[in-house]
Structure formats: structure tokens, C-alpha cells
Amino acid sequence: MMDARERVALTLAHQEPDRIPIDCWTTSVVDEKLLRHYGFSTREELLQHFDVDFRYVEGPKYVGPAPAVHDDGSIEDHWGVPRVLVEVDADDGAKASYREVLDFPLRGAQNVDELKNYPKWPSPDWFDYECVAQQVADAQATGKVVVFMGDRMNRCAQLKPAMYLRGVDQIFYDLALEPDIAEYLFRRIADFYLEYARRTLEAAGGRIDILMLGDDFGTQKGPFMSPDMWRKFLRPGFQAFVELGHQHGTKVAHHSCGSIKAIIPDLIDCGLDILNPLQPDVVDMDHAELKQTFGDKLCFHGSMSIQKTLPFGTPDDVRNEVRKRFETLGPQGGFIYCTAHNIQADTPIENIEALFEAYQTLGRY
């Protein structure tokens, strides 16, 4: 029987290991439900129970200026974007929470000079990177593949931070009518993340196996922008992220929700190794076609439906989807089992159990 590192190495080399590697993305509420269900006390016990092949390190610790707190209760993130805590009741009485963007601080900027003069640009100096070495050592001690992705605020990206700063509608207006503003904003954001990621990778001493980027380039109906526009505005920063990872000996993965088939050749041309999540339930992302067209150039990660099958299907529906993914995406390696995003609080525990059991029994070569 192979260990996790051997299994994933063969998969990334587009060869068939003993079974498809398994990853696990869950919300904190789901973790709490599973811990109670199994009587475990740590997430590591859950990951061991499900035989998960990956371990994610938390990354640098924020030590910068205390975030500003507004009278309405919103708290600024380190980009100066005010966010308010939103809580949603789960079916068992637990509360799922997230921080919703309340305002876009750069929406009213009229020119590049106003962007340059924004007083709340973050600095990579606001983070302590020394903790990364111990995080990586602890992850390696499990014998699993080490991944750095960061949280939503500290994941190499360009478009989503620009949306938070400028506004979702305004940044797309900029792409069409104020390209100088868009170019400056993307470059400024990318420069921050490049330095942040560089220091993180250096602190890890070459022991991070996969650097996971994250930036949603698509909606459920198609890309946010034309391929030409993506190449002009976002490709330079994206390629720099990939090259940085490769310079430090890591494979590079990218998470993008939505329908993005039109730019997959560009992602490959930039050197991307792994694409997540092959979101189902969107247009123009047929898994069989993607495997046939790009499967010898990219490793695919994800694809299990958190919108339909897991929350609303039966355990048999879950098992059938796992089997279908094996038949469609598994041949010749290059595929990692995972959900298309974090498993949500509305997912029955029996479906989660069926998912990981099926990974083990139906994902063997």
C-alpha cells in the first residue's frame, strides 16, 4: 500500500497509484458536527479517520495594526475593507458565521493617484512568518502532502480583492472604461501577495509541496470576462504567482469557481499544475471533455457537488457521483477527490460518511 506522498506524486505525474488521493474541505460547523458524531477532539483525528492525503498549514500570523472598528459593528480587514459578522443557524442549532463586506473603500476613486494615496494599503511586514516552519514540521510529521493556501484574505489572488476594494460592479466598469485604474489595482494587489507568499515559502524552507492560489474567474454561466481581457489584466499576476511557487520547488494549484473552460489553455500556458474544483452544476465544464482535452497537461482536484448531491441527495446518489468521477476523471491518474468547495452545514452526516467511504472503495485502480 502506498503512502500519501507516493500516491500524490504518481497522480501529479499522470500515473495511476493504488487509489485516487483524497482531500477534505469542510466548514468549521461541519467539523464540529463530525467531531461530536465520532467522539473525536481534533480535526487531525477526523482527517486520519477519513484517510485524507493532504494537510493544510495555517501560514503567517497577523501582527500588524489593530483593525479599525466602526460604530455599526463592522471591523476592517487588513485591506481596510469593513466587514460585519453574519451568523446563520444550522439544522442542529449550531451557528455558521462569515464576515460580509459592508462597503468598498476605493469605490469613489477617480484616478490612479487617488489609489496610490489610499492610506490603508497592507504591508507584508504586518505578518510573522517564523511560525510557518513549525506548522510545516507538524504537517510533515503526519506523513501527508503539505499545502499552503491561506485564508480568504491571505490567498494569492487579484480579482476578488479588487472586488472588495473597488466594488464588484465598479471593477468591471474599470476593465472596460478605466483600464489604468484596473491595471494599477491588480498590480498593487499582486505585488503584496507575491511578497507575502515569497516570505512564507522561504520560511518553510522548501517543505511546502503545493501552493494553492484562489481567485474566482467565472460565474455559473461563463467567465467574468473575455479571455483577451483576462490575458491583459490578470495573466501577468497569475503567471508571477505560478513562477514563484515553481522557483521554490512547489507544485501550484488554483481554485476558481465557475465556468472557466475558455481560459484553461492560458492557465496551462502559465505553468499551472492543478486546477480546482471543476465545479459541477455550471455550464460548459463537462468533465469528460475537460479530461480528454486537458487531462494530460493538468491535474484536476475537486468536482463533487456541494450544491445538489451532498446536501439534497441520498447516500446512494453520493456513491454514484464518486463512481462517475472515477470513471470520467480517474484514468491515467491526474485526479484528486474533493468537493467543489467546503462541505456546508446543511449536508447530512450520512452523506459525508458515504462520500469518504466511496472515495476509499470506489476510487481504487
What average pLDDT does the segment 302-312 reach? 97
d(CA 214, CA 191): 15
What average pLDDT does the segment 13-26 reach? 98
Domains of the chain, earliest start first: 4-63+111-362 (3.20.20.210)
pLDDT tens-place string over residues 241-257: 999 999 999 999 999 99
Is 0.85 topped by the overall pTM? yes
What average pLDDT does the segment 211-231 reach? 97
Quote the cell numbers at residue 108: 469613489
CA distances from 122 to 63, 64, 163, 180, 193 (A): 12, 9, 16, 21, 10
Helix ranges restricted to H, 87-226: 112-116, 131-141, 159-166, 168-177, 179-204
What average pLDDT does the segment 349-364 reach? 98
Residue 262 has a pLDDT of 97
| Grid-cell match 446518489, residue found | 317
pLDDT tens-place string over residues 154-191: 899 999 999 999 999 999 999 999 999 999 999 999 99
CA distances from 308 to 21, 275, 292, 344, 350 (A): 23, 21, 25, 11, 15
- The amino acid sitting at 273 is D
pLDDT tens-place string over residues 26-84: 999 999 999 999 999 999 999 999 999 999 999 999 999 999 999 988 999 999 999 99
